[in-house]
Structure 1
Amino acid sequence: MRVEKIAKNKIRIFVSYEDLASRGIERDEMFQNGKKVQELFWDMMEVAYAEVGFEMIGPIAVEAFTMPSEGVVIIVTQVPSLPVPGSLSELTDEPEMERDPYDSFVFSFADFEDVVRVGKALAQIEDLDCRLYVYRKTYHVFFPDDSLSERVYDTVWSILHEYGELVNVTRAMLDEYGTLVSEHALDMLRTFFEL
């Protein structure tokens, strides 16, 4: 088991298939809420606190996905608590605008190595296309709204969240103020990095 702190409120935990086997957990059991998996989770939280000082306070979000040859990657994020309004007058009847999950989106990456890691993790997904930009000294990957099928959406979203951060930047802003590195970023990464 390996723990990395990737943000103030976010950690990444790598659990190898050997770690799972040593605890008597089968691969398919990992995504169920059994007693062994709960014990593993609390052990991971203890290790995270001891190694990187990640203290679980308040609500958390947990994302888990498998990497075929490596094991399971678990992202744990502390979610900020929602403020409780002081009075009913602070509540509004106006509905919030919700983002359609299949709209286009942009993820930002601090360094190019993270972009390569994403490319490697996404290499097996067919017909996936994205554009790579440099904008404000960080790498931005733009996925058009028609690039993801419903079948692969959750997998892609989890991988992107592992290495990067969803940002509120439009393609128009990237085209205007950023530098286009590649119109077909995954093809470029496959060519140069043998993914």
Structure 2
Amino acid sequence: MKIERLSQDKIRIFLTFDDLSERGIHKDDMWREIPKVHELFSEMMDQAYTELGFDASGPLAVEVFALPAQGMVVIVTRGKMNAHAHDGGHTLEEDDADDEIYEMEVTLEQSDIVMYSFRDFEDVIAVSKQLQSSNLTEDGKLYSYNGKWILALEPALIDSSKHNAVIALLAEYGEATSVTYAMLEEYGKVIMSESAIGQICLHFKF
């Protein structure tokens, strides 16, 4: 579980599928109101407070993005307390009610985009060469984001029998990223908007 602060009132939590399975949670459970998910959320908020000093009191907007090969991204935004809420505006303490610690407005989205980040452009070239020479794919978008290169692939454009081989190569050279596609589109810079792997192989020779 990785937690990072995006702003004073917003954090991002990256959960791998191992994080979920260790707690007996299947990714589809995140769509359901079950005690295990509440326990996981409480654990995430405790860790966010310990690591970042993020106080999760008051209303929270929670966005959950499912990423097919990497895990899940949870974005938590802290809202302002309403003046009339909770007995004249007092923060609801855990002792007051076990079941109502957090006021959550949950948004769930599933993304099929596979994204891996690379520190060095040489790694992007290397993985592109491998993907092309293995006849796996020449597709993809290349972004620059936060000092890293991010390769985004649309699984629908890749033969389903080759998915695992593509993921294995991407994981060998880069690492799964917790950035959502929406954030990439908004804050990242598009370097190659289509056929990124094919273009890289064409322009960069070893």
How high is the TM-score relative to the length of structure 1?
0.50
Please say which structure displays the higher CA radius of gyration.
2
How high is the TM-score relative to the length of structure 2?
0.47
